[in-house]
Amino acid sequence: MDSFRGKKGALRNYQKKLYEYQEHEAETLIDIAVIYLEDDQFLKALQNLQEALKTYEKLDYLEGEAYTHDLIGDTYLTTRNTKKAIEHYQKAFKIYADIDSSMENEMGEKIREVKQI
């Protein structure tokens, strides 16, 4: 029984490490996307943001998902695609509302501003 508890504890430790590595991967993908955005390489930025979003979804990390949708919206707004920008802002808004985040109000304001464009 002791070896079972040891394996169970080790398994939890490895699962925690894996989660942290995956979260760090998503953060790194976002950092890379920002660099691409600064260089006006919007397609590459979107590809990295989509990968970050998939990682956050796999981790079921809602705040990361919302933040990434916000960044994707910003990227589309930069390319003047307001329809896609609003679509992602609304997804971010819904997630922020679901988790009762203070960012909900900020996203609501952003949506209103983009709709006026």
CATH number at residue 37: 1.25.40.10
pTM: 0.88
Which pLDDT score is estimated for 5?
60
Sign, Cα dihedral of 49, 50, 53, 55: negative
pLDDT-derived band at 2 (thresholds 50, 70, 90) equals very low
Cα 5 to the center of its chain, rounded Å? 35
- Residues 5-61: tens digit of each pLDDT: 677 788 899 999 999 999 999 999 999 999 999 999 999 999 999 999 999 999 999
For the chain, the domain total comes to 1
Residue closest to 76 by CA, chosen among 68, 67, 85: 85
CB neighbours of residue 112 within 10 Å: 10
Q: Which domain holds residue 27?
A: 2-115
